[in-house]
Amino acid sequence: MRRVKIVATLGPASQDDKTIEDLARAGADVFRINMSHASHELLRETVSRIRDVEARLKHPLGILVDLQGPKLRIARFAEGAVQLVAGQKFVLDSVDETGTAERVFLPHPEIIESVSVGDRLLLDDGKLQLKATKVGGGAVETEVIYGGRLSDRKGVSLPDTLLPVGALTEKDHADLLEGLKCDADWIALSFVQRPEDIIDVRKIVQGRAGVMAKIEKPQAIDRLEEIIKLCDAFMVARGDLGVELPLETVPGLQKKMIRMARRFGKPVVVATQMLESMITSPVPTRAEVSDVSIAVFEGADAVMLSAESASGEYPVEAVTMMNRVAIAVENDTNYRTIIRAQATEPEATAADAISAATRQVAETLDLAAIVTYTSSGSTGIRAARERPSKPIIALSPNLRTIRRLSVVWGIHCVQTEDAASLEDMVDRACIIAYQEGFARPGDRIAITAGVPLGTPGATNMLRIAFVRQDGAGSS
């Protein structure tokens, strides 16, 4: 009955068959495969294991393939590392030689060409900060603002610079094609800067998977609405956001993005460091529990574990803890009030009007469940956007749709054949609601669908049906 979904990242600590099953039983709905660390062979093996577990549990599991994105790194130093001091001059140049305390090779000409005087350059996840003082001649001269130890191959972040490169590298393109070949349900695109990044990926994906935009760059924040309208879902990737933006602004941005997701009817995942201490500890900190709780109270569709489940010592315990925290929040007396206060007006479409009316009818008449027939998944997402207090059961003949909906708030997915008639539609909905444990004989359920049956995106009907003693229905 938990509404918020859990995304668990697989890695060295969790990619074997038994642990994947344990994670699914503990509450993981979607498994993330991080292509920064996975080869194509490992991707295929992991997908196969997830599908085996799915078949054993008879419960749909989503697969999210997370593309690495452009990784910008400095080259190596002659001594392996240097110590930078605040106020000193330090140059990043295009000379392919080992670095010194005064300079280092930056194998990314697009950075050198794009940086302007005054722009900040953050190194090693923001631990060191430089400011560009002179640009030209194949080099960027900087002043060290915050110094420290800088070692080989550390990452470079540019919060003030719009890079001319797209979010999809050659490696990402190959990984994307392999992910589609493996029938991944979601493709996550890293370091999105502009709407065009989403369009580029959509042209390749062509509807074979959902496209999830990871919001982790200040440039993406500037064009957030355009990006959200183009993607199928998005992720609040707080790790990189917290490097390139002031840390104190991230919680407010998280709230803003969750509410924007609700407004546009797009699933949103909150990610990074949610139970970070559980990498090495069997219990989280109080602050981490509060962090997860806030995302659930806000109405996020899913919360995500990264290193906690991928490489930590307690992957199953981390999912179990996240599950317990989410259930506690959803049973809190304040939860429904907060969720209702964030409701947005339905759009002027039949599908939205029906979804809003269904929620109201289900709550007013105290119905056992809302059953929605959905071919593409859009009807299920619209029902979830209303955040009803009653369970949502999504029925679809399309297994891809069922798996894709596993990241969406409050939806219990069941694969079933298309109804042959209105009477069959009512019977099928009542029987499944009964079999899945959501309704008992004598209960009533709400059913939404599109007539004629099986027409994608044409939700125009709301029925109320009684569940009879034999589990079938009458309306």
309: phi then psi, degrees, rounded to nearest 5: -100, -20
Instruction: Collect all residues with Cβ–Cβ distance below 8 Å to 249 and sequence separation of at least 6.
Output: none
Residue type, 172: D
Asked if 396 and 373 count as a contact pair (C-beta separation under 8 A), the reply is yes
Of 3, 32, 49, 403, the active-site residue reads 32
Strands of 231-343 (E only): list them: 233-237, 268-271, 302-305
Of 381, 380, 314, 389, residue with least CA distance to 359: 389
Of 25, 44, 73, 400, the active-site residue reads 73
Asked if 23 and 295 count as a contact pair (C-beta separation under 8 A), the reply is no
Q: How far is CA 332 from the centre of its chain?
A: 25
Bridge partners of 392? 370, 411
Of 5, 194, 214, 359, the active-site residue reads 214
CA count, 13 A, side-chain hemisphere, 285: 9
Please say if 32 is a catalytic residue: yes
Sign of CA pseudo-dihedral 271, 274, 280, 282: negative
Please say if 73 is a catalytic residue: yes
469 burial class (0-12, 13-18, 19+ CB within 10 angstroms)? exposed
Asked if 65 and 35 count as a contact pair (C-beta separation under 8 A), the reply is yes
Bridge partners of 447? 371, 463
Of 272, 372, 401, 459, the active-site residue reads 272
Bridge partners of 186? 64, 210
Please say if 272 is a catalytic residue: yes
Asked if 401 and 373 count as a contact pair (C-beta separation under 8 A), the reply is no
Q: Which residues are marked as active site?
A: 32, 73, 214, 272
